[in-house]
Amino acid sequence: MSAPAAVRTRIGKYEIGKTLGEGTFAKVKYGKHVETGVDVAIKIIDKDKILKHKMVEQIKREISTMKLVKHPNIVQILEVLASKTKIYLVLEYVSGGELFSKILNQGRLREDQSRKYFQQLIDAVDYCHSRRVYHRDLKPENLLLDAEGNLKISDFGLSALPQQFRADGLLHTTCGTPNYVAPEVIDDKGYDGAKADLWSCGIILYVLMAGYLPFDEASIMTLYKKIHKADFTCPPWFSPAARRFILQILDPNPKTRITAAQIYKIDWFKKGYTPAKFKQKDDISLEDIESVFSESMDKHEHMELQKNEKKPTIMNAFQLITLSNGLNLSGLFDTPEDPKKGDTRFTSIKPANEIIASIKEVAKPLGFDVQTCDFKMKMKGDKEGRKGHLSVATQVFEVAPSLFMVELRKAHGDTLEYHNFYNELSKGLKDIVWR
């Protein structure tokens, strides 16, 4: 008697197989279309998790972006499916792995090989920019290779669409991976998404040819300064033409940095270049995305998805760096008591509303009037001190899902009195401070 056939999981017309990768909010599994036999990758997103961590808009943006960009050098989204608890993104299966793994295993690549990948990268990135899509996290880990060795851009989770531009025509969200991010992004004064992406492409080209990063410092402060000045050197095996080209891309001034249109005219780039051939589709619909999030959801989930709930300001790595003295993160949290300072920070894994409520509950018996607005708080002492009434401004920031940073700052009054107040306040906050 033969053994019974193994039961295989199916989603729609796709049979699901082994796990290819796993993140905080999603798993990527191998899949196969049961009728055509075509291999796919299926990104499975847990609805409860993205609702809990308020990531619905980010996931919607990722899906919208992938539907907008149809290019041979970009991982394609084939279909979006949903159940009551999951969202399934059916993606093109790219079997060659990450470009990053190739560099790790092989070391630096030959100049002609690096040029081929870079040509495909620029083709895809320039196409995205023509659709007003900006990736904002370009790095070798987000570049995949297909079975023929062609490059494919993936992971549009941090991408920006036109509606994210402010009135000045610039993007203002600081994001990306520090070693690959452009100086103007860190400056936090607004930046051109296309020029910032091209800087990241220049870093990638350097890494391909050198086998290491142009900016790679243990100290965040030193890393920031070197990026800001474009303080790097090219190894001796770079050809003079490649060296000149990289210097044009890694120009710290975005106004004089080379553009994609100019890159296509550079002799080094044109060598062996074959433009990508594909039929551009202009009839792309994004109308089905909303239905994916509401399909088969119960009333409670749907209300949770739709309501515009206030939440703490999200603080990314670059904003943390800005807060830290000397750009050194070592003393950022749980700052030591210093009579010269009038600010203190601590971290907590308690919900933001609970943090605010606890501070309010402890501050009132200490003789402080407390006023709150969203996740900001102002505490004013009822007794006059050496320099008037002590006033303390407080704000809760979201550093990561379920991790918050609380900043307390003396807004008015005597610094020593502030530290005495904080010592008493902290005694009552032991249950919410994370150590």
Length of the chain: 435
Q: Which two tokens stand for residue 85?
A: 């608890």
Q: CA-based angle 52:56:60, to the nearest 5?
A: 160
414 belongs to the catalytic site: no
43 labeled binding residue = yes
Radius of gyration (C-alpha) of the chain in whole angstroms: 25
Determine how many CB atoms are found less than 10 A away from the CB of residue 248.
16
Residue 355 in contact with residue 404, Cβ under 8 Å? yes
Residues 6+ apart with CB under 8 A from 243: 234
Determine how many CB atoms are found less than 10 A away from the CB of residue 88.
22
Q: Of 123, 126, 137, 192, which is the active-site residue?
A: 137
Instruction: Report the half-sphere exposure of 276 (CA within 13 A, side-chain side).
Output: 23
**Residue indicated by tokens 């539907």:** 67
Q: Which two tokens stand for residue 308?
A: 């515009």
Catalytic residue annotation: 137
**Residues at the annotated binding site?**
43
**Residues at the annotated binding site for ATP?**
43
